[in-house]
Amino acid sequence: MRIDWDVPVPMSDGAVLRADVFRPDDDGEYPVLMTLGPYGKGLAFQEGFAGMWQRLATAYPDAVAGSTNAYQVWETPDPEKWVPDGFICIRVDSRGAGRSAGLLDMLSEQEARDYYEAIEWAGVQGWSSGRVGLLGISYYAANQWLVAALRPPHLEAICPWEGFTDFYRDLNRHGGILNRFGQAWQDHQIFTVQHGVGERGRRNPNNGELVAGPPTLSEDELAANRVETIGEGKRRALLDEFSRVRTPDLTRIEVPVLSAANWAHHLHTRGNFDGYATVSSPRKWLEVHGHEHYAEFYTDYGVALQKRFFGHFLKDEATGWEQQPPVRLNVRHVDGSFEGRDEQQWPLTRTRWTRFYLDAASATLSTTEPTAEHTADFPAPGPGADFWTAPLTDPLEITGPASARVRVSSTTTDADLFVTLRVQDPSGNEVSLVSAIDAHGVLAVGWLRASHRELDEQRTLPHQPWHSHTRTLPLTPGQPVDVDVEIWPTSLVIPPGYRLGVTLSGRDFQMPGDGPWPVLYGIEQRGNGVFVHDDPDDLRAGIYDGTTTLHTGPHSRTSLLLPVIPPPA
């Protein structure tokens, strides 16, 4: 393998980005797999994300087998697993990050244009076959959607692996409620490798160069060279132009797409399903898996899937991809196992959309509608109100998107509503599911700030309410309103004897028990990973600390719409 470090990639405005190019050591022409982003192309996975690396190596040994792992970088392909098969791997530091000078402006129009130009640069190099694909996780997936919507001529196929599509709804504000993850992520993963951190940062273990250099700038100089993307998102409570330009027009994407989703990622799950559903490309596939956020991308299962896709579209190889079903699901079971299943569509056409009604009189959840109106009060800052089915008599598979229809009132002019789907075993113990970011994840979650309840009627579906987030509709204290809450897609087969439940609360659900709970970025992970909604600047006293009243009954129709999948005939 030949490695060219810090290759200059000229931009049309005179800026120069820096790329590392890993390619076969001969004079041939090969297709390119590219990533461009702000995580530092020279930051070793083992150093920058040591805990995740240890978990990957220990729990998924196949992910690190067959490679020296010397060139592993967080959320990007391992060149040692691709170059021997006739691919070129290129990692580009985005403008203002790592080795690339300039203004750091995450997910901006400028960054998308830079990515476009980097793709076109790679497409005409002497070692390139002229065919470029994009492959990466998270940020390296999110900006695939953005640049693919610009339609670079040399872009042939994309594989966004667990990557959000909506800056406002997925990253910044769940249902209009500020998500505190963004600030922690930006401060720990982005600003620590901003171009100019220099001597205060790490070195590339392969060439000894500073990961975020060569200059070492003062903190004031660094601050002047970046846009406070998350801070701007926090300041903007409604969806405006700042969010719109960072959200791709998915309908413009026409290249082949393999969208790989995780059932339980409170940043990325929604985006991969929406991306698959919305792109215009007739050649699109959806794959859904579980486990930790970064795991399946590197396992033999994930790499084999990626190679079949890119071998077909970048190299015209007979990989069997022409027989690949449109949808590949790994359906979850309560014991942590997965059942691989091929499907023809999403959501599944055989779905039995089933209403489960909440009854405040008995705290039950049932497919039978209550016969009388009742209410349940709960303090907004408290644990909320729980509703449970009777023990199941037959297996129950829930696979797909879901929603909640809730009639609610408050003693104040607003209220946050968290809808958390849960499962208990026959002994009454909470079932926790390994999610993308949390070892103790719940089945599914939906969020909504009541003042953001206005729907975009053109985009709303029964199983996916679509909120416009362009104006607020304050509550009148004591007066009930109907709200529709989007619950992100999920999957689980619940065995007989278990119970399905839902918690409605005014704050994040917390797994019961004393822990100890893992902590990441100073955030205790108790069912929601690092995606919590407790920023004091977003929860004004006197508004979000009142008493919430839930109304149930035949007029209220407070219920869940769940995707029940019938057993095979």
The residues spanned by each domain of the chain are: 2-324, 352-565
pLDDT higher than threshold 90 for residue 156: yes
CA distance linking residue 355 with residue 518, whole number of Å: 35
Tokens of 182: 């963004």
The CATH architecture annotation of domain 352-565 reads Sandwich (2.60)
The label of the residue with tokens 């609360």 reads 505
Q: At what angle do helices 139-148 and 109-123 cross, to 10 degrees?
A: 80
**Mean pLDDT value across residues 549-562:** 97
pLDDT higher than threshold 90 for residue 158: yes
**Mean pLDDT value across residues 337-361:** 98
Burial class (CB in 10 A: 0-12, 13-18, 19+), 208: exposed
pLDDT higher than threshold 90 for residue 482: yes
pLDDT higher than threshold 80 for residue 323: yes
CB atoms within 10 A of CB 242: 17
pLDDT higher than threshold 90 for residue 515: no
Whole-model pTM: value is 0.98
Spell 113-138 as b/e; 16+ CB within 10 A means b.
Answer: bbbbbbbebbbebebbbebbbbbbbb
230-285 pLDDT tens trace: 999 999 999 999 999 999 999 999 999 999 999 999 999 999 999 999 999 999 99
For every residue of 245-283, which 3-state class applies, written as one string? CCCCCHHHCCCCEEEEEECCCCCCHHHHHHHHHHCCCCC
CA distance linking residue 210 with residue 214, whole number of Å: 6
**Mean pLDDT value across residues 169-179:** 97
Q: At what angle do helices 139-148 and 269-278 cross, to 10 degrees?
A: 20
* End-to-end C-alpha distance for the chain, whole angstroms: 52
Secondary structure E strands in 96-154: 128-137
User: Mean pLDDT score of the chain, rounded to an integer?
Assistant: 97
* Pick from 361, 483, 467, 466: nearest CA to 415: 483
**Under a CB-based contact definition with an 8 Å cutoff, are residues 96 and 38 in contact?**
yes
The label of the residue with tokens 């820096």 reads 18
**Mean pLDDT value across residues 523-543:** 95
CB atoms within 10 A of CB 503: 20
Find the helix or strand (DSSP H, E) in which 233 lies: helix 229-235
**Under a CB-based contact definition with an 8 Å cutoff, are residues 133 and 86 in contact?**
no
Amino acid at 348: L
Residue 153: per-residue pLDDT? 98
Domain 2-324, CATH class in plain words:
alpha beta
Could you please report the per-residue DSSP string of 477-546?
TT--EEEEEEEEEEEEEEPTT-EEEEEEESS----SS--PPPEETTEE-SSSTT-----TTTS-TTTSSS
% of the chain beyond a pLDDT of 90: 99
pLDDT higher than threshold 80 for residue 569: no
Residue 220: per-residue pLDDT? 98
How far is CA 340 from its chain centroid? 21
**Mean pLDDT value across residues 488-503:** 98
Classified as helix, coil or strand, 31 is strand
Evaluate the CA torsion angle 130, 133, 134, 136 in order and state its sign.
negative
382-437 pLDDT tens trace: 999 999 999 999 999 999 999 999 999 999 999 999 999 999 999 999 999 999 99
Distances from the Cα of 38 to the Cαs of 197, 318, 358, 469, in angstroms? 13, 35, 45, 29
Question: Looking at residue 431, what DSSP letter applies?
Answer: P
Residue 562: per-residue pLDDT? 98
The label of the residue with tokens 């065995």 reads 495
CA distance linking residue 43 with residue 201, whole number of Å: 10
Question: Is 352-565 in the same CATH topology as 2-324?
Answer: no
% of the chain beyond a pLDDT of 70: 100
Residue 568: per-residue pLDDT? 81
pLDDT higher than threshold 80 for residue 309: yes
93-105 pLDDT tens trace: 999 999 999 999 9
Tokens of 217: 């700038």
